[in-house]
Chain A
């Protein structure tokens, strides 16, 4: 055996394995959570991604079908990244610089402008509110679902780590439980092994904040017959900024 020598030790080994992509679904979810809370681990993963990244260029390019781009365009959130505001701000910045250059020679104009109502400059774009994340785990601590709430889009993205076809006679129903009243609100069904974006209406999105619980219950086909969950709770997790 010629590849002898030391094996890597944790956490470096875990970082390399996550970047390489050999971890199982629960291990991947755990590594992602660790990256969010442990900056040196996140750096180690990034460094490995950079080291291994050039390998991707060896994969032959294959053109996707022409339908993909229109689908992407339709999926782009309308107000995301706030292009209009960005353009308006750029205009105002330009206008301000120009005005200063002319200031000395424009006293008359300034006097004239002074008699007009002040120009309202739009407030600078505030930083996007942070994404909230939750890992929904069993009592035993196994992550079964990973969720992110995007306050800007008012949408919850949920990924089921449950292998498809595990239990064809039941469905997984997702609930949002705000700490204010502790009442579960149904957000809909989550199919095993898929990721899904769930837009929340105004009242639900107000309830999606740090500390709100997300829970998944096991329900008969079609979902819980009552207002709240009727079956056992498979996994629970709280939304938090990570």
Chain B
């Protein structure tokens, strides 16, 4: 990342090769549109290039930092479609929630493991709501429609769930 900050294009290309499939997956999951996701992916790496000097390894891993940028850009793009964008489930985009991939385990086994563990201690519906919110970047409103549950209830599930999650991750 320091080389990227110093303006080394080759370093950015290597970072792209190592991470673009992951970030593209994140964008695609949120936007479910290949062209839009590629536009966002482009913006993401240009942003990484320009902001690499602000990356702080003591606060987050490179992967967390760049996937946060990708999620944010993708969610901004999704919001542009309106607050109810993706209130309907698109079946073919459904992945096996709760089943960590092999890469998840390899990449940050311990941290992902702790998060998995803590998520699984929540109510099933709370866990599902938090996962859907994270993976698909939808608003509370869209989530409430999707789960066919009143907005206030969904909000309360998530807020309580996140509170528990925090307590579980940092006892």
A residues in contact (CB < 8 Å) with B = 1-8, 13, 16-17, 20-25, 28, 46, 48-65, 67-69, 71-73, 75-77, 80-84, 86, 150, 159-161, 163-164, 192-195
Contacts and interface: CB of A to CB of B under 8 A. Distances in A.
Contacts of B123: 1-3
Interface in B115-165: 115, 122-123, 126, 130-131, 133-135, 137-141, 143, 156-165
A3 B164 contact: yes
Nearest to B140: A22
A156 B142 CA distance: 32
Most buried by A among B26, B53, B61, B107: B26
A90 B160 CA distance: 52
A3 B71 contact: no
Helix, strand, loop or mixed for chain B's interface? helix
Interface of B: 4-9, 12-13, 16, 20-22, 24-26, 28-29, 34, 37-38, 41-43, 45-46, 49-50, 52-53, 59-61, 63-64, 67-68, 71-72, 75-77, 79-83, 95, 99-101, 103-104, 107-108, 111-112, 115, 122-123, 126, 130-131, 133-135, 137-141, 143, 156-166, 169
Contacts of A49: 60, 64, 68
A53 B50 contact: no
A179 B131 CA distance: 48
A77 B103 contact: no
A75 B104 contact: no
Contact of A13 (B137, B139, B159): B159
Contacts of B52: 81
Given A2-B123, A20-B133, A24-B83, A60 B162 contact: no
Contacts of B104: 54, 57-58
A71 B41 CA distance: 10
10 contacts: A3-B123, A21-B137, A53-B63, A54-B108, A55-B112, A57-B63, A62-B25, A76-B49, A83-B7, A195-B43
Contact of A24 (B4, B16, B25, B139): B139
A68 B19 CA distance: 13
A25 B83 contact: yes
B40 to A, nearest CB: 9
A3 B127 CA distance: 10
B134 to A, nearest CB: 5
B100 A58 contact: yes
Given A54-B112, A57-B108, A57-B112, 12 more contacts: A3-B123, A5-B163, A22-B158, A49-B68, A51-B165, A51-B169, A59-B25, A59-B26, A68-B41, A73-B13, A81-B6, A86-B6
B21 A54 contact: no
Most buried by B among A49, A81, A86, A164: A81
Contact of B46 (A56, A72, A86, A164): A72
A62 B139 CA distance: 24
A38 B75 CA distance: 22
Nearest to B19: A61
B82 to A, nearest CB: 4
B49 A55 contact: no
Contacts of A65: 34, 38
A224 B50 CA distance: 34
Nearest to B85: A163
Contact of B9 (A55, A73, A195): A73
B60 to A, nearest CB: 5
B152 to A, nearest CB: 11
